[in-house]
Every structure is written in structure tokens, then in C-alpha cells.
Amino acid sequence: MLSGIRSYSKKEIMERLEISERNFYRYIKTLKDFGFIIDTSGGRYIIEKNNKTIKDLSDLLHFSEEESHILNEAINSIEASTKIKENLIGKLSALYDNDRIAIRFVTKEQSSKIKPLLEAINNEKKVKVYEYLSSGSGKIGNRILEPFEFTPNFISVWAYEPESGKNKLFKVKRMKSVELTTENWSAKEKHKANLTDCFRIGGPKQIPLCFEMTLLAKNLLIEEYPLSEHFISSHGENHYRFNGWVTGFEGIGRFVLGLPGEIFNIENDHFLEFLNKKQKIFNFDK
């Protein structure tokens, strides 16, 4: 967290990592003991990029324009949204701490939207998002947002929406265009990124979820949602178990409903109710 482009308050770090104040200070001390200089100006914490340790690390990973182009092509050749691709982009963007890396490792279409979002985050400005397609309401509309944090792979951005008074996760692909405004953030104290589960759904809390599935379902689940692999274990031939958490049922719900008969023994009554309501929407007799 502290090696990226944004500083964090003690409270934000404790909440995001779910640690006590004692452990917070222990972690900060550990970083300092290993030679990192922590900038604590304004009561916010970030690793200082101008010390020799960071410079030496950056020198080892300096790329020429030609090397950057080759690396860009190589990373983009990886199947979309795989865990390896996400980790590579996230680590490079944190190391270089500038807009150039973020823009290099996304498509040209996405970069025109990511650039003003990054500028808004760095300069604490609002943006106007044109024709955002909301999956929740199914409506398309313009929005004024205060973006404050990207997901590691730049697929989505956390932003505070003044109109609704809520922090939400917005997918960049669903934005037609983004315009940087001259208006400053008006609710910085309310900015808070929620948890994001392995199905890319954001929410304030972890909801325990367990179910069993076939080999086919397991393979498809990992291919579509690579981070789900952390929660999957083998329980015999052609029998696998997911034992993890989600922040909402929308992501996993779409997956389960698309594989009838391949997922069973679901151990969450609320999720079963969610699935039953969704199934009633469809009328397969007509």
C-alpha cells in the first residue's frame, strides 16, 4: 500500500489491513528497520521514493522505450484478467509511481479514460464520466465522481459519488469517456475503498460462502476469476470445494446460474434465496 502513488492515514491502513494500532506501529518500525524512509507529513503515510534503496530498485527495473514496448506487447498477450497479468501491472505501476506505466499497460481505448482519472486522483479533482453503463440499474447516464483509488489492474476505480453520497467501484470499460474538471474534492474525509472479492464485486464486509463443484466448474471458475483459486481445494476425483468469502452475490450468482448441475451443496441460505429469486425471473416455457 505504501509503495504506491497514494498516501494513507493510520486509520485507513488499520481498517484496510484489519490490524490493531499496536501492529500498525510494529509494521511501520519494520519498514524503517529495513531501510525504507516513511514520509508522515500531514498525518499520512507513504514510502519516500527519493531514498537510495528505492532508487537502486528502480535502476534494476529501468526500461528503454523499445524495452517498454516489447514488455507491453508481452503482458497484453496474456489472456485478459489472469492473476499473473494483474500482478505484473500492479507491481510495475507501484514501482514507477507515475501515469506513464499505467497508460502503457492498458489498451489505447482505456488509456484515454485512465489518464484523466489518474490526474484527478493525484490532484484531488472531480471528474465527469459520460454515459456510464450501470449493471445494477441497467441505465446509462453521466456522473460526477471523486476518484481516489484504482484496483491493481486498472480495470476499476473507487470513487465517491456526491449525488448518492456513497463510495462505489466503477468499471473503466463501462465509461464512454472521462473529463477532468477544475473542481476540487468536496468529501475527502468520506473516501473509503471497500473490500473487493475474487469475483470483482465491491462491498463493505466479507460474507462466508462454501459450495462444492465438478472439475468442469472448477476449471471455468479459475479461468474467469483467477483469484478464486486461493479458496478451492480438492475433495476427491472430479470433486472440488470452494471455501471463501464474497462481498455480494451478483458475481458468483451469475457464474452458478450459468452452470446448472455443476455446483451443489451450497452452504449459505441467503445465497440460495438469491439464486431462487433470480431463477423465477426467467420463464423458459415461452
The domain locations on the chain are 1-60, 78-193, 202-281
Whether this prediction's pTM lies above 0.85 is answered by no
State how far the Cα of 175 lies from the Cα of 49, in Å rounded to an integer.
32
Sheet holding 38-39, edge to edge: 8-9, 44-47, 38-39
Pick the CATH number of 1-60 from 2.60.120, 1.10.10, 1.25.40, 3.40.50: 1.10.10
CATH number of the domain located at residue range(s) 78-193 in this protein? 2.30.30.100
From start to end of the chain, where are the E strands?
Answer: 8-9, 38-39, 44-47, 125-133, 140-150, 156-161, 166-171, 177-184, 195-196, 202-203, 207-213, 232-234, 240-246, 263-264
Mind listing the pLDDT tens digit of every residue in the chain (286 residues)? Answer: 887 777 889 998 998 888 899 999 999 988 887 777 888 888 899 887 665 555 555 454 455 545 555 666 666 666 555 666 666 666 665 554 444 444 444 555 677 888 899 899 989 999 999 999 987 667 899 999 999 988 756 778 999 999 999 999 898 989 999 999 999 999 999 998 888 888 888 888 899 999 999 999 999 999 888 888 889 999 888 899 999 999 999 999 999 999 989 999 999 999 999 999 888 765 443 3
